[in-house]
Amino acid sequence: MYDCIIVGKGPAGLSAALYLGRDGYKVLVVGLGSMLEKAEVVENYLGIFAISGTELLQISKKQVTNVGVEIKEEKVLNIYNKNEEFNVVTNIGEYKSKCIILALGSKKGNAKIKNAEKFVGKAISYCVSCDGFFYKDKNVGVIGSSEHAVEEAIKLKNYTDNVTIYTNGKDMKVTDKYIDYLKNFNVDNRKIEHLDGEDELSHIVFSEDDKIKIDGVFIANDTPNIDDLSNNLGILTEKNKVVIDENNMTNVKAVFACGDMINDFKQVSTAVGSGAAAGNSCIKYLINSNLSEKVKKL
């Protein structure tokens, strides 16, 4: 069990990790990549004349692993709260913690399916946990081609046996953990032209002469973003930003947020600053909630 799992390994997440790690907490940083990798040169970070984003990240990672923090290059698919513990499900494994710091960066764009937004709530949903019940014994599809699609299809099996994964022209890309699960589902690799229906979605259209009838579709973005993760945790967002209090805590107890998810001015410096604040608030939370093993030993 980790004291804290930090989701996202850009400057905000690593900054939070540095504060927790230096204070001796057991910390995991997990995620795939960072926007900073794309910065050819950073010239506005105080104290450093010029450095590439990749090099700045490499130094930062070395600095946090040096104080005992673990870093894993894995895609986070789901975070859920059970018995006052958090479970973070990735494409490789599952990890538990006492609290969570979200540092996922700006919302990543996922491929749009034509007409998907038009039918939200009308046989299209982004949340099996919320709306799966309405598709009991129906013919349903999950649109997606990653482990996230398999996770959603598994949840749908609780309601119906008739679940197909539609990859929209892509090949399924899943880790070993999901290969066996995938055998339980039909996979359709055809490219989707658009979704069709009158009041409600009724068909997936592949081409003018090629369409299938469907009762419901769940969309599973290949890289789950904050909206997807918040459907499991219930984290409030406003204008594409996560809502936090003065301690960087979200509306969900023990879940903090920092970096581009909360900042209007998206810079390395502001990410590092808010990461430090979130890390510090998390330490205070662990101590005040009597969840800190270090304090218990005193």
Partner 1 sequence: MNIEIYTTPTCIWCKTAKEYFDSKGIEYKEYDVTEDNEKALEMVEKSGQRGVPVIDIDGNIIIGFDKEAIEELITEFIEDE
Site for partner 1, rule CB under 8 A = 120-123, 125, 127, 129-134, 199, 216, 231-234, 236, 251
DSSP string for 73-130: E--EEEEEEETTEEEEEESS-EEEEEEEEE---SPPP-PPPTTTGGGBTTTEES-HHH
Q: For partner 1, which is the closer residue by CB, 41 or 243?
A: 243
Q: For partner 1, which is the closer residue by CB, 125 or 270?
A: 125
Q: For partner 1, which is the closer residue by CB, 17 or 153?
A: 153
Smallest distance from partner 1 to CB 131, Å: 5
Smallest distance from partner 1 to CB 133, Å: 5
Residue 182: Cβ within 10 Å count:
16
CB 47 within 8 A of CB 56: no
Q: For partner 1, which is the closer residue by CB, 13 or 132?
A: 132
Smallest distance from partner 1 to CB 121, Å: 3
Smallest distance from partner 1 to CB 257, Å: 16
Smallest distance from partner 1 to CB 276, Å: 29
Q: For partner 1, which is the closer residue by CB, 119 or 206?
A: 119
Give the residue carrying structure tokens 């039918």: 119
Smallest distance from partner 1 to CB 241, Å: 14
List beta partners, residue 205: 194, 211
Report H helices in the chain: 11-22, 53-65, 128-131, 147-156, 176-182, 226-233, 268-288, 293-297
The Cα–Cα gap between 131 and 133 comes to 5
Q: For partner 1, which is the closer residue by CB, 48 or 243?
A: 243
Tell me phi and psi for residue 11, to 5 degrees: -60, -30
The Cα–Cα gap between 22 and 93 comes to 26
Output the CA–CA distances (angstroms, integers) from residue 35 to 4, 72, 250, 281, in the order listed.
23, 17, 23, 25
